[in-house]
Amino acid sequence: MLLCVYLLLNECKLAESDISKLPQHRKLYELLRKHIVEGNYPEGSMLSSENELCSIHQVTRPTVRQALSRLEAEGYIVKRQGKGSIVRSLPKGIGILSIQGTTSGVGKHNLETRQISKPEAVRWPEDFPFELSEIEKESGCVMLERSRILDGSPVLYEISFIPNINIPRFTQKSFENKSLFDVMRTNYGIEVTGGQQKIMAISATESTSQYLQCPIGAPILKLLRKIDTNRHGYSFYSTIYCNTSDFYLEGSF
């Protein structure tokens, strides 16, 4: 049984203080989603029926259906007419998410995130692969290098670029064994809403072969990602090099 190691999957969840201000269908969605991800429902089990949810939460059916509709769109549940809402085992993810071993027995405990360089405010690279807005260009960015170690060998080398706009004390944060998405969310309330990525296979250069501890010329997966957030016009960027000789990237969509 292969175990999934989630690297970049970060749930967009709001702080509890904001929950009371949310519309009802959203509150219900958050509640049900929480129950599902916490594993309160055995996989494949039935959710309460729409009418039951109505009376339990004192809302009307359209409201319930709106909440369920989002859960379905995001892959948490599957609805079947005449039957009910079935809780899915794996939620649909955002883009490419996890690393799986081509051999068995890869557990989360074997995964380590190591910070190669401290977050540093710099200018944008010359040949940046994505188009930048004026304010992004003017503000510069914070660069951050990390690598992921699986069973002692590096499988992933990631350079992140975060526009230096209203992210106070960002350079002082530590990212050892932390997800960038989590840091953005918990410190600045920035949630990931989607993004764009470019994927290619390249041959390992001298520098990448050092980072990934592989021979020069070995096939390497390269990803260029732009990650959009709930902050309007604010995105951050990542360049990822991945050694897929023993592992591969996996994602649902």
Up-side HSE of residue 138: CA atoms within 13 Å toward CB?
Answer: 4
- What is the spatial distance between Cα 198 and Cα 130, in angstroms, rounded to a whole number? 10
Chosen residue from 4, 14, 31, 59 binding DNA by CB under 7 A = 59
3-state secondary structure of 27: helix
**Nearest by Cα to 179 from 154, 160, 155, 198:** 160
Least Å distance between CB 47 and its own copies? 18
Asked if 247 and 100 count as a contact pair (C-beta separation under 8 A), the reply is yes
128 makes contact with its own copies (CB under 8 A): no
Collapsing DSSP states into helix, strand and coil, what is residue 73?
helix
Smallest gap from Cβ 13 to DNA, in A, equals 16
Residue 49 contact partner, candidates its own copies, DNA, none, CB within 5 to 8 A by sort of partner: DNA
Interface of this chain with DNA, residues 37 to 56, rule: CB under 7 A? 47, 49-52
x/- binding map, residues 163-202, to its own copies, per CB under 8 A? -------------------------------xxxxxxxxx
Contacts of 1 (CB under 8 A, 6+ apart): 104
Chain positions 77 to 96 lying near DNA, rule: CB under 7 A, are 79-85
Contact by Cβ (8 Å): 54, 61: yes
Q: Which of its own copies, DNA, none does residue 213 bind (CB under 5 to 8 Å by kind)?
A: none
Residue ranges of the alpha helices (H) in 24-90? Answer: 24-37, 50-57, 61-73
3-state SS class at 171: helix
In the chain, how long is the greatest CA-to-CA distance? 64
Candidates 27-35, 95-103, 144-152, 173-181; binding stretch for its own copies (CB under 8 A): 95-103
Tell the residue number behind the tokens 């594993």, with chain if given. 39
Which one, 22 or 216, has the nearer CB to DNA? 22
Piece in contact with its own copies (CB under 8 A), picked from 9-17, 20-28, 148-156, 218-226: 218-226
- Least CB distance to its own copies at residue 168 (A): 26
Interface contacts to DNA, rule CB under 7 A: 23-26, 47, 49-52, 58-63, 65, 68, 79-85
Question: Interface with its own copies by CB under 8 A: which residues?
Answer: 62, 69, 73, 75, 90, 92-96, 100, 194-203, 217-222, 242, 244, 247-253
